[in-house]
Structure 1
Amino acid sequence: MPTDAGTKENPWKLKTPPLTSEYEMYKDEKDGKPIIVCTVGKTVLHYDYRCINDLYAMLKENGEWMELGSADEQKPAKAGTVEAWGRSPDNPVGGWYGLKKGLRGRFGMYIPPLMEALGLAEVEHQPRNNRMKAL
Structure 2
Amino acid sequence: MGTKENPWKLKTPPGTSEYEMYKDVKDGKEILVCTVGKTVLHYDFRCINDLQVMLKAHKDWMELGSADEQKPAKEGTVEAWGRSEKNPVGGWYGLKKGFRGRFGMYIPPLMEELGLVELEHNPKNNRMRAL
Q: How does the TM-score come out when normalised to structure 2? A: 1.00
Deviations 1:83-104 (A, max 9, x none): 0000000000000000000000
Report the counterpart of residue 29 of structure 1 in structure 2. Answer: 25
Structure 2 residue 99 is matched with structure 1 residue 103: yes
Q: How does the TM-score come out when normalised to structure 1? A: 0.97
Report the counterpart of residue 121 of structure 1 in structure 2. Answer: 117
- 2 CA distance for matches of 1:105 and 1:118? 22
Give the deviation of 1:27 after TM superposition.
Answer: 0.1
CA RMSD of aligned residues (A): 0.2
Report the counterpart of residue 129 of structure 2 in structure 1. Answer: 133
- SS of 2:107 mapped into structure 1: helix
Give the deviation of 1:123 after TM superposition.
Answer: 0.5
Count of matched residue pairs: 131
The amino acid that maps onto 2:24 is D
Report the counterpart of residue 48 of structure 1 in structure 2. Answer: 44
The runs of 4+ residues in structure 1 deviating greater than 2 Å are none
Report the counterpart of residue 5 of structure 2 in structure 1. Answer: 9
Give the deviation of 1:127 after TM superposition.
Answer: 0.1
State, as a whole percentage, how many aligned pairs show the same letter.
83
Where does structure 2 lack aligned partners over 5 or more consecutive residues?
none
- SS of 2:106 mapped into structure 1: helix
Deviations 1:53-112 (A, max 9, x none): 000000001010000000000000000000000000000000000000000000000000
Report the counterpart of residue 92 of structure 1 in structure 2. Answer: 88
